């Protein structure tokens, strides 16, 4: 009786069975890095004395963190990565064709269910939404994976989270994951896999699943897993480059698989959630957060920058105005999301409402560029972290929420619940 994670790790380490806490050498299907982590990875790769990556089709680099380049130093880092990508003939998406890595890779068909993916970015766990075992690592680990196609892992225990009931209006994947992290804490799933299940998850659209898997790391988890179901199959039909040659097999944990914990939630009555500074577990229902005055609202990023998220925001912003004391930045997760939003008229809605629409970048989420906060400023953001100084000055504050609360708050100039704008 195995969990989905154990099945995937066994299949990738040529073993019939793997046991929790066992150390295994795992073959990887994709290795990712970005303009912040790749320069260190490339340096370590060179130290290995290997001339070529193990498989150029299975290595990908994305210039998304400080790109378009924010200053000369970041331009140098991006250049170093670009030159390595060209030299090695690996997958590389240039500015103008790229997206934030965790939106881009699934959308461009680089992620398949039951794959193993490692990335030098902690939010690599996003791909668990497609039933892949994906986890973040540092640059040195990724250098070794690029060179050998393998990486060591300790087989993690799995905690199962079952969500029951029916989601209230304006409550989505972001609220579910914030609610969960608020319950278990930022190390509540340390070293473990979070497996998301239950009838609420069965009904949850893919965009909401990506949001949940994305923030598994915020509970300390190694991965956030979803079973491979019809929704994933449908997503793969639209996005996979290999769909016709590699059919999507439905797969999940065995019924009697061993979990380290099973946590059940009835979510029929939960409200949209807001995480207060300075830790993602500091969550409150929006009714207890209303009234906090804001200077900036950010909607988008790798957590909530997909088309479904922008559609929710547009429902609120259509025909309304961003509050005069507040800056609202819309951050589509990729050029494709941007173009789709443009075709649907969402971008026009945002601009008419008085929002700035940004090219895809991680910039503002990590206080890099394109929306950095001054001392004393408060931002409500649909991104994933609100640590001290995360979005700029160590004296600024970041509140986390989903796109419905963010858009409603942008209109009100303070944290607002969605019902205050759409009755």
Partner 1 sequence: MVGLLDLVVRRYEKKLQLKGKVHRFESDVNTDVIIPARYLNVSEPGELAKHCMEDIDPEFTAKVNPGDIIVATTNFGCGSSREHAPLAIKACGVSCVIAQSFARIFFRNAINIGLPLLEYTESLDVIENGDILEVDLSTGVIKNITKNKTVMANPYPEFMMDIIDANGLIEYTKHQLQET
Question: For binding to partner 1 (CB under 8 A), which residues are involved?
Answer: 23, 36-37, 39-40, 43-44, 47-50, 65-66, 70-71, 73-74, 77, 119-122, 124, 136-141, 143-144, 147-148, 152, 154, 186-187, 190-191, 220, 222, 279, 366-368, 372, 385, 387-390, 392, 394
Query: DSSP state, 129?
Result: G
- By beta-carbon proximity to partner 1, the closer residue of 50 and 356 is 50
Q: What does the alpha-carbon distance between residue 29 and residue 11 come to, in Å, rounded to a whole number?
A: 12
When the beta carbons of 44 and 246 are compared against partner 1, the nearer one is 44
As measured in angstroms, the least distance from the Cβ of 4 to partner 1 is: 19
129-159 burial string, b = 16+ CB within 10 Å, else e? bbbbbbbbbebbbbbbbbbebbbebebbbbb
By beta-carbon proximity to partner 1, the closer residue of 99 and 119 is 119
Asked if residues 126 and 302 have their Cβ atoms less than 8 Å apart, the reply is yes
Tokens of 3: 């969990």
Q: How far is the CB of 354 from partner 1 (least distance, A)?
A: 28
CB of 121 to partner 1, least distance (A): 6
> Smallest gap, in angstroms, from Cβ of residue 370 to partner 1?
13
- For partner 1, which is the closer residue by CB, 281 or 334? 281
CB of 275 to partner 1, least distance (A): 13
Distance of CA 50 to the CA centre of its chain: 32
- 3-state class percentages of the chain: helix first, strand second, coil last, to nearest 5: 35, 20, 45
Rounded CA-CA distance 166/159 in Å is: 22
**23-27 and 150-154 as β-strands: parallel, antiparallel, unpaired?**
antiparallel
Q: What are phi and psi for residue 53, nearest 5 degrees? A: -70, 160
Helix (H) or strand (E) holding 237: helix 230-239
In the complex with partner 1, which residue's Cβ is closer, 56 or 282? 282
Supply the minimum distance, in Å, between the C-beta of residue 192 and partner 1: 10
Nearest to 280 by CA among 161, 175, 210: 175
Closer residue to partner 1 in complex, CB, 190/342: 190
Residue 303, token pair as written in the block? 């957590």
Considering the complex, what minimum distance in angstroms separates the CB of residue 34 from partner 1? Answer: 10
- Of residues 109 and 149, the one with the C-beta less far from partner 1: 149
Strands (E) across 287-396 are located at 296-300, 327-331, 356-357, 378-381
């Amino acid at each position: 009786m195995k969990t989905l994670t154990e099945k995937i790790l066994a299949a990738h380490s040529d073993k019939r069975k793997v046991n929790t806490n066992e150390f295994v050498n795992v073959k990887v299907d994709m290795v990712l890095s970005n303009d912040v982590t790749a320069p260190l990875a490339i340096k370590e790769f060179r130290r290995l004395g290997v001339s070529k990556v193990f498989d150029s089709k299975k290595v990908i680099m994305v210039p998304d963190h400080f790109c378009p380049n924010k200053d000369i130093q970041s331009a140098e880092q991006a250049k170093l990565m670009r030159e390595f990508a060209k030299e090695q003939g690996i997958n590389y998406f240039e500015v103008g064709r790229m997206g934030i890595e965790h939106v881009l890779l699934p959308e461009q068909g680089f992620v398949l269910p039951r794959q193993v993916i490692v990335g030098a970015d902690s939010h690599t766990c996003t791909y668990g939404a497609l039933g892949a075992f994906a986890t973040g690592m540092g640059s040195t680990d990724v250098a070794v994976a690029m060179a050998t196609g393998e990486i060591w892992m300790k087989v993690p225990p799995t905690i199962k989270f079952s969500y029951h009931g029916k989601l209230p209006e304006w409550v989505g994947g972001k609220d579910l994951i914030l609610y969960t992290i608020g319950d278990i804490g930022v190390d509540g799933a340390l070293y473990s896999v979070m497996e998301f299940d239950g009838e609420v998850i069965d009904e949850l659209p893919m965009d909401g699943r990506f949001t949940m898997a994305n923030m598994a790391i915020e509970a300390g988890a190694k991965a956030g897993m979803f079973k491979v179901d019809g929704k994933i199959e449908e997503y793969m039909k639209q996005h996979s480059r290999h769909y016709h040659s590699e059919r999507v097999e439905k797969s999940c944990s065995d019924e009697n698989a061993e979990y380290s914990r099973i946590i059940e939630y009835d979510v029929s009555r939960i409200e949209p959630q807001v995480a207060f500074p300075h830790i993602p577990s500091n969550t409150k229902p929006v009714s207890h957060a209303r009234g906090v005055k804001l200077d900036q609202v950010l909607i988008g990023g790798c957590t909530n920058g997909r088309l479904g998220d922008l559609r929710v925001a547009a429902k609120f912003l259509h025909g309304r105005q961003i509050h005069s004391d507040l800056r609202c930045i819309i951050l589509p997760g990729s050029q494709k999301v941007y173009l789709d939003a443009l075709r649907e008229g969402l971008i026009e809605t945002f601009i008419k409402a008085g929002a700035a629409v940004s090219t895809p970048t991680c910039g503002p989420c990590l206080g890099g560029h394109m929306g950095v906060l001054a001392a004393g400023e408060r931002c409500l953001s649909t991104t994933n972290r609100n640590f001290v100084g995360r979005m700029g000055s160590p004296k600024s504050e970041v509140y986390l929420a989903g796109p419905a609360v963010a858009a409603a708050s942008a209109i009100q100039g303070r944290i607002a619940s969605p019902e205050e704008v759409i009755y």
